[in-house]
Homo-oligomer: A and B are copies of this chain.
Amino acid sequence: MPSVTEGIVPDGIVTSGACGNGELEALIASLLVIRASGHLLDGQRRYPQWELSNGELESLLKLGVGGVILLGGSAAELSLRCRQLQGWAWGPLLLCADVEEGVGQRFEGASWLPPPLSLGQLHARNPDQAVALAHRYGRCTGREARALGLNWVLGPVCDVNNNPANPVINVRAWGETPAVVSALTRAFSTGLQAEGVLGCAKHFPGHGDTSVDSHLALPVLHHSHQRLADVELPPFAACIDAGVAAVMTAHLMLPALDAERPATLSKTVLTDLLRGQLGFDGLVVTDALVMEAISQRYGAGEAAVLALEAGADLVLMPADARAALAAIAAAVASGRLSHQQLAISAQRRQRALQRVYEQQSPTAANPEHLEPDTQLAQAVLELSLQRQGGRLAGAPGINLIRLESCLQAPQAVPRMPALELPADQGFRAVLLEPRSPSPWSDAPEAPLNLAALGAGAVLLQLFVRGNPFRGSSAAREPWAEVVMQLQRLGRLAGLVVYGSPYLWQSLQTVLEPRIPAAYSPGQMPQAQTLALQSLGLGPGFGDTGADNDVCRDFTD
């Protein structure tokens, strides 16, 4: 499709040192990536304070804005949305999404895969299998992204998760050591690229060892050059070696590298370390500038200019897109930013899009033909399921479910297996989320207020990942003490942890071996079914390990 690639950036902009104001504006605009809801209509936006209206999107795309990051909606709707956005633009767009755990993580109906850390854990037992599954993970994500109209997946996460208290990376990481993360992110990247979709190694130079959420504040990491070279950088080097199209910056302070500026805005980090030392010549994109770690300290325009000055090519989600455009134009006029530098960034963007279009099949995206890879999800879930103790007794009891949020959480659907399968065995559900009436008593050694909860043995199901914005609340909840309290009373029917292996490990230290218990890294309905079937709930799965009809109801 030569007419498409030709149109990416007008030749005059890339090659000429001087150009008209309209051309300069378009050049600058092409370096912005703005945020849109994955829904077609303004009224469907979940976060209207961040997600631009259709009028504003159309207007910015007509100015030449070069990329859109999408979030929310179904797979089918996403395909319509991508077509709509591309129709508003005057050249091919970078269309990206944070689909780190399969396209179905963000766009309902596509494959929703267990978090990467599940393969990191498998790697210790069976490295070849883990690498093969990571490659398939990348192919699945790339195939579906492309089928729906996305051409850029904002993954893999290259951060080495060596701090279990990390509130923002956690199960999103591919492992806990540089070697494992390197092997798996490389395999993921090649899988993605084999489908003709761009990837993005993040968050440079490594966000794994923080205990502060950079969505809310600026973490400080006191790592030396040597420590970075030993631990944080190898996965980025592996992905660069594998041909990753882009690297995303981290909102982190690294005083050993730059005492003044966070990595996202630091020339030492982006130009000296990433471009120079690691030899990366692909696209450098900032993490979202709207995040408070940046927006609390820098204005929308100044943050964008500083990022480009530091060596970024693309500015993601500036707090105010028009302010960013104006500030960049002013910086070019004052000589603070060179026109040539921006032209080189635009050229990098063009090269990335050319990679996409070289492999683009001529058929239009058709969401009807999407076939989610439930076998891949099932394989990873089965390999990463952990079990101990016997089978759950079917006696009437209480099914205490702890969710990180009950409001439109994709794992919390009205007929979620975590509710339905225990209900079939006479367990009455109690749903707990951060805004529920308090279930706690005043006694630290018996923290659960059992008088209010009612009679019966308790099946405890804890959905805890350590997500951004919500990571810390579960840590403050005394689940180990609850396990001990219920065991003392002979009232712990069973335990399932969905998500954090660290919570599971900490509870195992107090759990009596006879108690039926399971851990799954996934939280999706498919993971719930598998974990509960392993405890003996549902139609006989625990006997043979083969009959997963109930599961199929939710995933086929």
A residues adjacent to B (C-beta < 8 A): 39-44, 46-49, 53, 73-77, 80-81, 84, 104, 108-109, 367-368, 370, 372, 374, 405-408, 412-416, 429-433, 435-439, 449, 452-454, 553-556
A80/B367 contact (C-beta < 8 A), A43-B555, A407-B416 known: yes
A55 closest partner in B (C-beta): B556
Copies of this subunit? 2
Selected contact of A405 from candidates B49, B108, B414, B554, CB within 8 Å: B414
| B75 contacts A41, C-beta separation under 8 Å | yes
A448 closest partner in B (C-beta): B437
Measured in the bound complex, the distance between the Cα atoms of B73 and A372 in whole Å is 18
Chain B residues with Cβ below 8 Å from A554 are: 43, 48
Selected contact of A372 from candidates B41, B370, B415, B555, CB within 8 Å: B41
Selected contact of A46 from candidates B48, B49, B415, CB within 8 Å: B415
Determine how close the nearest CB of chain B comes to the CB of A403; give it in whole angstroms.
9
| A53 contacts B556, C-beta separation under 8 Å | yes
| B431 contacts A46, C-beta separation under 8 Å | no
Selected contact of A40 from candidates B41, B368, B407, B436, CB within 8 Å: B368
Chain B residues with Cβ below 8 Å from A412 are: 407-408
Chain B residues with Cβ below 8 Å from A109 are: 39-41, 43-44
Chain B residues with Cβ below 8 Å from A454 are: 438
Chain B residues with Cβ below 8 Å from A76 are: 39-41, 76-77, 80-81
| B429 contacts A435, C-beta separation under 8 Å | yes
Determine how close the nearest CB of chain B comes to the CB of A300; give it in whole angstroms.
20
A54 closest partner in B (C-beta): B368
Contacts beyond the supplied A46-B415, A73-B74: 14 A-B pairs with Cβ under 8 Å = A40-B370, A41-B370, A76-B80, A80-B368, A406-B431, A407-B414, A407-B416, A408-B413, A429-B435, A430-B437, A431-B433, A432-B436, A437-B439, A449-B452
Measured in the bound complex, the distance between the Cα atoms of B440 and A452 in whole Å is 8
Measured in the bound complex, the distance between the Cα atoms of B452 and A413 in whole Å is 28
Measured in the bound complex, the distance between the Cα atoms of B39 and A75 in whole Å is 10
Determine how close the nearest CB of chain B comes to the CB of A36; give it in whole angstroms.
13
| B436 contacts A436, C-beta separation under 8 Å | yes
Selected contact of A80 from candidates B46, B80, B84, CB within 8 Å: B80
Measured in the bound complex, the distance between the Cα atoms of B439 and A48 in whole Å is 33
Measured in the bound complex, the distance between the Cα atoms of B432 and A41 in whole Å is 30
